[in-house]
Amino acid sequence: MPARSVACDTTILLYLGRISRLDLLPALFVKIYVPEQIVTELDMGRLLRRDTMNPRHFDWASAVSVEQSAIDRLPPNRLGIGEQSVIAYAQVHSCDAVGLDDLQARELAERLGLKVVGILGIFLLAKRRALIPAVRPLMDAVVDQGFHLGVGLYDDVLELAGEKIA
């Protein structure tokens, strides 16, 4: 059964788009919220790479506005406006999860009591729900597209997925 809602940061949308697996998001979440600040980041990304996904083209993605006052209420941090908007939106609207990969953003979200899922967590959830047969090919694909992933974390995810570590 899919979780109800997630507010997504750029990284998840960008890399799932680059490996043509955006389908995993609506399979795992009923509502996918994309703050306007993230939509803008993706728009800027398309200036460099035309294949950068556009959330406006997907009926499962809801572009949402985030009040500056909600962002201002966050504890002091050095996050970018995208991560801040995702966390603020999820906090104000009680999202079930926030889709973040940046370590500082994840730590802040967790301190605020938000459930965090990154791209690797999405792969693990997808495998547990039999949406994909294995996480390794998807991890390899995002790494090939420029996603930074430490060797230890790679092996940890394979172990969690019940896949053989090479």
Residue 87: how many other CB atoms lie within 10 Å: 30
pTM of the entire structure? 0.93
Report yes or no on 158 lying in a domain.
no
Q: What is the mean pLDDT of residues 41-63?
A: 95
- 77: burial class by Cβ within 10 Å (0-12, 13-18, 19+)? middle
Report yes or no on 112 lying in a domain.
yes
Q: What is the mean pLDDT of residues 60-69?
A: 97
Task: Choose the weakest-confidence range: 51-55, 123-127, 162-166.
Answer: 162-166
Report yes or no on 74 lying in a domain.
yes
pLDDT reading at 2 higher than 60: no
Q: What is the pLDDT of residue 151?
A: 76
pLDDT reading at 12 higher than 70: yes
Report yes or no on 16 lying in a domain.
yes
Report yes or no on 133 lying in a domain.
no
Q: What is the mean pLDDT of residues 115-120?
A: 97
Q: Are 77 and 84 in contact (CB under 8 A)?
A: yes
pLDDT band at 152 (very low <50, low <70, confident <90, very high): very high
pLDDT in tens, 99-117: 999 999 999 999 999 999 9
Report yes or no on 152 lying in a domain.
no
Q: Are 134 and 143 in contact (CB under 8 A)?
A: no
Report yes or no on 164 lying in a domain.
no
Which CATH number covers residue 25?
3.40.50.1010
Return d(Cα 118, Cα 126) in angstroms, integer.
12
Share of the chain above pLDDT 70, in %: 98
Q: What is the pLDDT of residue 3?
A: 65
User: CB within 8 A of 47, min separation 6: which ones?
Assistant: none
Q: HEC profile for 94-162?
A: CCCEEECCCHHHHHHHHHCCCCEECHHHHHHHHHHCCCCCCCHHHHHHHHHCCCCCCHHHHHHHHHHCC
pLDDT reading at 142 higher than 80: yes
Q: What is the pLDDT of residue 165?
A: 80
Domain count, the chain: 1
Q: What is the pLDDT of residue 145?
A: 95
Report yes or no on 149 lying in a domain.
no
Containing structural domain, residue 88: 3-120
pLDDT in tens, 16-28: 999 999 999 999 9
